[in-house]
């Protein structure tokens, strides 16, 4: 009887030690975070002091050349599609789980040719901060984002990465 009680305690402890961000609480969590939480600009896939456990990149996926976007909304949507296409092993499509592993938010500033100029972290997840580097790496694999010379500057977009328990993301733009 004592071993059954001990087993129940171990089982209950294992179920409650890992807090997760609720998918429905995304806006509440974002509202609690400062607008520019720990702005971490970077322009390289693995910046100095990177805490990503595995910065080795998989072989690059061959992407079709991006079309020049006609407006900023089209730029954001095209970027989200390119993120998924360039990162098939790191992304998912379909229903977002109710409980998410992490929800980093990044602002991406682009150069006229669609290459990445700067990435700033707007929301840093408290529980899984390494997902920031996973998102940054995914953004670099999907670049360039098209000729932006016909769009008014600034050439930037914001993307929210919805990470599931398998450490795979879905761009919120596609949700």
Q: What is the pLDDT of residues 67-124, one digit of tens each?
A: 999 999 999 999 999 999 999 999 999 999 999 999 999 999 999 999 999 999 999 9
Per the CB < 8 A criterion, the answer to whether 132 and 120 are in contact is no
pLDDT at 138 over 60: yes
Q: Is 20 exposed, middle or buried (0-12, 13-18, 19+ CB in 10 A)?
A: middle
Q: Which helix (H) or strand (E) holds 100?
A: strand 99-100
Q: In this predicted model, which residue has the larger pLDDT, 22 or 135?
A: 135
Terminal-to-terminal C-alpha distance of the chain: 49
Between 25-29, 126-130, 157-161, 171-175, the lowest mean confidence (pLDDT) is in 25-29
Q: Is the Cβ–Cβ distance between 26 and 160 less than 8 Å?
A: yes
Strand order across the beta sheet in which 169-171 lies = 116-123, 105-110, 156-163, 169-171
Residue 61 is predicted with a pLDDT of 81
Q: Are 53 and 133 in contact (CB under 8 A)?
A: no
Q: Is 87 exposed, middle or buried (0-12, 13-18, 19+ CB in 10 A)?
A: buried
Give the per-residue pLDDT at 60: 66
Q: pTM to 2 decimals?
A: 0.68
What confidence tens digit (pLDDT) does each residue in 26-80 have?
333 333 333 333 344 443 333 333 333 344 444 568 899 999 999 999 999 999 9
| Residues forming beta bridges with residue 158, ordered by sequence position | 107
Quick one: CA dihedral 149, 152, 154, 155, positive or negative?
negative
Evaluate if residue 158 carries a pLDDT over 50: yes
């Amino acid at each position: 009887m004592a071993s059954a009680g001990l087993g129940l305690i171990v089982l209950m402890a294992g179920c409650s030690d890992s807090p997760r961000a609720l998918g429905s609480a995304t806006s509440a969590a974002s509202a609690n975070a400062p607008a520019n939480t720990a702005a971490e600009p970077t322009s390289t896939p693995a910046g100095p002091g990177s805490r990503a456990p595995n910065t080795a990149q998989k072989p690059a996926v061959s992407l079709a050349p991006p079309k020049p976007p006609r407006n900023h909304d089209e730029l954001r949507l095209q970027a989200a599609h390119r993120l998924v296409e360039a990162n098939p092993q790191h992304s998912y499509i379909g229903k977002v789980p109710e409980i998410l592993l992490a929800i980093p938010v990044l602002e991406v500033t682009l150069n006229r040719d669609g290459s990445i100029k700067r990435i700033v972290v707007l929301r840093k997840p408290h529980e899984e901060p390494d997902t920031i580097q996973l998102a940054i790496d995914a953004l670099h694999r999907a670049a360039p984002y098209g000729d932006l010379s016909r769009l008014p500057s600034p050439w930037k977009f914001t993307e929210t990465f919805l990470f599931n328990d398998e450490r795979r993301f879905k761009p919120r733009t596609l949700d």
